[in-house]
């Protein structure tokens, strides 16, 4: 019998929401349909503003949470109608929500998106707030995708590294004979996106073409790599609280050439991720990349250069399209929650133990 779940992921890039309808019966991940709803510039700006301290935060967060629920419902319904299915066919939606604050060191993380309203709008059971329980158990609450990476991409014959190039980049090391390792390596697309918006008026640098035309500023790169986060040992996770425009502005010299800064930001993502793989995945023979950053050709070439002779392949070649891996992971996390199974990996997050993740908002009927 099919076990249909919807997964919804809207990540730190603030680009929009990815929805996936997947059949998760018997250990498989069969993607039946997918949809993407873009946030647009206004919503993106309002969400970005909410990731830093400001006035009237509770009202702004709650109002934006309601808007997100409508967008999440739209994405869910689009995926369903693409597959010729209805809400009644789906066991649950796994909804990550939109992170506006991630502070595991202070014991909390906040993802907005009004899961109760999403359950009302769709009539489908919604599982949300996956990260809080892991943090309550002493973990980082992130990354949560490594357990799904293990299910989708593990190979008994070789160690593999999975690199998710979202707004923040995260790494999973699928080791042979021991549980996976995983952590955020640092910025993925978020700083490059910010810089492209500021100087080109575009949400991202298409294919990394602008960066590829620039020259890496070695001194600036060194100042960036001096950030203590890069040297900290895992478990560790990060977000826009650290890698944000103020962090970048604090390191720039006046008169820096914008194109060279973009080239340097691309280099920062590639070098920090490649170093993390070399330092923590020495036995790796293959790097599988996913997330929107895989569409940044210059970034992928940069990673390949730094990681040769190991191949860097898109997850497209390994059964799950690169843009859908995280959404599929949250569909699977919803299934884990409904079936009373753990979703976190203590070896990754540092939590005291495995925990059933998420709060459940029951659907109609």
Ligand X SMILES: Nc1ncnc2c1ncn2[C@@H]1O[C@H](COP(=O)(O)OP(=O)(O)O)[C@@H](O)[C@H]1O
The contact set with Mg ion (CB under 5 A) reads 11, 13, 15
Name the residue nearer to ligand X (CB basis): 80 or 169.
Answer: 169
Nearest Cα to Cα of residue 332 among 79, 6, 10, 2: 6
One residue of 189, 264, 269, 344 binding ligand X per CB under 6 A = 189
Q: Which does 330 bind (CB under 5 to 8 A by kind): ligand X, Mg ion, none?
A: none
295 binds, among ligand X, Mg ion, none (CB under 5 to 8 A by kind): ligand X
DSSP three-state, residue 326: helix
Beta-bridge mates of residue 312: 287
Q: For strand 126-128 and strand 108-112, is the pairing parallel, antiparallel, or unpaired?
A: unpaired
Q: Is the peptide bond before 350 cis (omega within 30 degrees of 0)?
A: no
Give me the least distance between CB of 215 and Mg ion, in Å please.
29
89 phi-psi bin (left φ>0, alpha ψ -120 to 50, beta other): alpha
Instruction: Please report, as residue ranges, which positions from 304 to 343 form the binding site for ligand X (by CB under 6 A).
Output: 326
Pick the stretch among 117-125, 199-207, 268-276, 311-319 that binds ligand X (CB under 6 A).
199-207
Residue 181 forms beta bridges with which residues? 173
Sheet with strand 284-290: strands edge to edge: 181-187, 168-174, 159-165, 284-290, 312-314
Find the binder of ligand X among 5, 204, 243, 330 (CB under 6 A): 204
Provide the minimum distance between the beta carbon of 292 and ligand X in the complex, in angstroms, as a whole number: 2
For residue 113, the partner it binds in ligand X, Mg ion, none, with Cβ less than 5 to 8 A by kind, is none
Could you tell me how many helices (H) and strands (E) the chain has, helices first?
14, 13
Q: Does 193 bind ligand X (CB under 6 A)?
A: yes
Kindly tell me which residue out of 25, 105, 158, 206 binds ligand X, with binding defined by CB under 6 A: 206
Kindly state the smallest distance separating residue 189's Cβ from Mg ion, in Å: 9
The answer to whether 243 touches 225, Cβ cutoff 8 Å, is: no
Q: Is 109 in the site for ligand X (CB under 6 A)?
A: no
280-294 per-residue burial string, b: 16 or more CB within 10 A, e: under 16: bbeebebbbbbbbbb
CB of 153 to ligand X, least distance (A): 16
Of 292 and 363, which has the nearer Cβ to Mg ion? 292
Only segment of 69-77, 198-206, 340-348, 352-360 that touches ligand X (CB under 6 A): 198-206
Site for ligand X in 7-66 (CB under 6 A): 11-13, 15
Window 265-304: residues binding ligand X (CB under 6 A): 291-293, 295-296
Contacted by 296, from ligand X, Mg ion, none: CB < 5 to 8 Å by type: ligand X
Enter the DSSP assignment of 77: H
Could you say which of Mg ion, ligand X, none residue 158 binds, taking C-beta under 5 to 8 angstroms by partner kind? none
**Count of chain residues binding ligand X (CB under 6 A):** 19
Q: Is 72 in the site for ligand X (CB under 6 A)?
A: no
Both structure tokens of 340: 């009373």
Structure token pair of residue 32: 């039946």
Structure tokens at 14: 């603030």
In the complex, least distance from residue 16 CB atom to ligand X, rounded to whole angstroms: 7
CB of 253 to ligand X, least distance (A): 25
Contact (Cβ atoms closer than 8 angstroms) between residue 182 and residue 164 = no
Q: Work out how close the CB of 205 gets to ligand X at its nearest, in angstroms, rounded to a whole number.
A: 6
- From Mg ion, ligand X, none, which one binds at residue 12 (CB under 5 to 8 Å depending on kind)? ligand X
In this complex, which beta carbon is closest to ligand X, that of residue 200 or of residue 360? 200
Residue 323 CB, shortest distance to Mg ion, in Å, is 8
What would the 3-class secondary structure string for 210-279 be?
HHHCCCCCHHHHHHHHCCHHHHCCCCCCCCCCCCCHHHHHCCCCCCCCHHHHHHHHHHHHHHHHHHHHHH
Q: Residue 292 or residue 350: which is nearer to Mg ion going by CB?
A: 292
Give dist(CA 364, CA 359) in Å, integer. 16
Give alpha helix (H) positions in the chain. 40-50, 57-82, 115-122, 131-136, 146-153, 190-200, 209-212, 218-225, 228-231, 245-249, 258-280, 297-307, 325-338, 346-349
Binding site for ligand X (CB under 6 A): 11-13, 15, 166-167, 189, 193, 204-208, 291-293, 295-296, 326
């Amino acid at each position: 019998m099919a076990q249909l779940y919807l997964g919804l992921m809207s990540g730190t890039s603030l680009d929009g929401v990815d929805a996936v309808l997947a059949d998760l019966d018997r250990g498989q991940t069969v993607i039946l349909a997918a949809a993407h709803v873009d946030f647009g510039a206004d919503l993106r700006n309002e969400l970005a503003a909410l990731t830093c301290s400001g006035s009237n935060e509770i009202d702004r967060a709650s109002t934006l949470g309601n808007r997100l629920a409508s967008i999440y419902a739209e994405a869910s319904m689009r995926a369903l109608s693409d597959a010729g299915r209805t809400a009644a066919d789906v066991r649950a939606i796994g909804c990550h929500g939109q992170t506006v604050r991630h502070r595991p060191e202070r014991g909390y993380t906040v993802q907005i998106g009004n899961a109760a309203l999403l359950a009302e709008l769709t009539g489908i059971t919604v599982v949300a707030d996956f990260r809080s329980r892991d943090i309550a158990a002493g973990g980082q609450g992130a990354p949560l995708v490594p357990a799904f990476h293990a299910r989708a991409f593990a190979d008994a014959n070789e160690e593999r590294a999975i690199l998710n190039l979202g707004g923040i980049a995260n790494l999973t090391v699928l080791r042979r004979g021991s549980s996976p390792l995983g952590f955020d390596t640092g910025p993925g697309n978020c700083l490059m996106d910010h810089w492209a918006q500021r100087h080109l008026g575009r949400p991202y640098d298409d294919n990394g073409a602008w960066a590829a035309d620039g020259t890496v500023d070695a001194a600036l790169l060194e100042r960036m790599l001096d950030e203590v986060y890069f040297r900290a040992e895992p478990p560790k996770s990060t977000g826009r609280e650290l890698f944000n425009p103020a962090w970048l502005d604090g390191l720039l010299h006046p008169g820096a050439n914008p194109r060279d800064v973009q080239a340097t930001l691309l280099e920062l993502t590639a070098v920090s991720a490649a170093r993390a793989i070399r330092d923590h995945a020495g036995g790796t023979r293959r790097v599988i990349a996913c997330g929107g950053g895989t569409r940044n050709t210059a970034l992928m070439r940069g990673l390949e250069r730094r990681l040769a002779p190991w191949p860097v392949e898109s997850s497209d070649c390994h059964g799950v399209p690169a843009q859908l891996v995280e959404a599929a992971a949250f569909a699977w996390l919803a299934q884990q929650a409904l079936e009373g199974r753990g979703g976190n990996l203590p070896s990754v997050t540092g939590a005291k133990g495995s925990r059933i993740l998420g709060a459940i908002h029951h659907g109609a009927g």
